[in-house]
């Protein structure tokens, strides 16, 4: 019998179930991305995805986030108010790949896109660039179905390198880095943006030359 993914999901009752459901959601999204990447390679002779990273937020980190938002540390509040318990980072070679991958994810009929934040077209004040999608994917357990939220971050290799350094600096200085370091980070972000644009233009020129060879 086919399972109805449109029916109301059941609640999650324990931390063990939270771990099971969100780890399963990471596997579901990860497998979908790998299949889409393989299909793209077969059809277009090109892989838009360089690699995929996934992570589960620790219980300590979830509790800290709930306290910051003013919520009690309950399973219900975790599921309702913490959107990044499960996170996947998709690393692409070029900025054009980011939107291509995002479109492919959005076209999956069992994935529901809850929100999108485009920090590439609208970077953060720090210079941070990335494309964020908050989605839900149905997870079928033996006795119920649960809709699990997954935060997907899509960025280029260069953006990821910058974001990794910015993350380390943020925690090193607890969000209060010296002004000259903030300014240097912004300048690096500008250089990363320029590098991504030049690499994309170069790649498009190469692919154009390759296509002409088959004419």
Tokens of 160: 């990821």
Q: How far apart are CA 49 and CA 89, in angstroms?
A: 11
Q: Is 156 exposed, middle or buried, given 0-12, 13-18 or 19+ CB atoms closer than 10 A?
A: buried
C-alpha 13/C-alpha 8 separation (Å) is: 16
Q: How many CA atoms lie within 13 A of 114 on its CB side?
A: 12
Question: The dihedral of CA 168, 113, 13, 82: what is its sign?
Answer: positive
Instruction: Supply the residues annotated as catalytic.
Output: 151
CA distance 157 to 162: 9
Cα–Cα distance, 160 to 32 (Å, whole number): 22
């Amino acid at each position: 019998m086919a399972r109805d993914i449109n029916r109301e999901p059941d609640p999650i009752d324990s931390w063990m179930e939270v771990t099971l459901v969100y780890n399963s959601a990471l596997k579901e999204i990860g497998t979908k991305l790998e299949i889409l990447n393989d299909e793209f390679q077969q059809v277009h002779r090109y892989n838009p995805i360089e690699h995929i990273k996934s992570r589960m937020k620790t219980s300590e980190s979830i509790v800290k986030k709930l306290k910051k938002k003013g919520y009690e540390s309950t399973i219900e509040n975790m599921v309702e108010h913490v959107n990044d318990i499960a996170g996947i980072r998709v690393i692409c070679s070029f900025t054009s790949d980011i939107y291509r991958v995002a479109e492919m994810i959005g076209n999956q009929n069992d994935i529901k896109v809850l929100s999108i934040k485009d920090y590439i077209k609208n970077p953060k004040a720090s210079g941070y660039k990335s494309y964020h999608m908050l989605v839900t994917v149905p997870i079928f357990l033996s006795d119920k179905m649960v809709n699990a939220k997954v935060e997907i971050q899509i960025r280029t290799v260069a953006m990821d390198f910058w974001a990794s350094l910015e993350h380390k600096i943020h925690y090193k200085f607890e969000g209060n880095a010296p002004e000259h370091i903030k300014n240097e980070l912004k300048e690096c972000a500008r250089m990363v943006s320029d590098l991504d644009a030049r690499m994309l233009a170069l790649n498009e020129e190469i692919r154009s030359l390759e296509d002409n060879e088959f004419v």
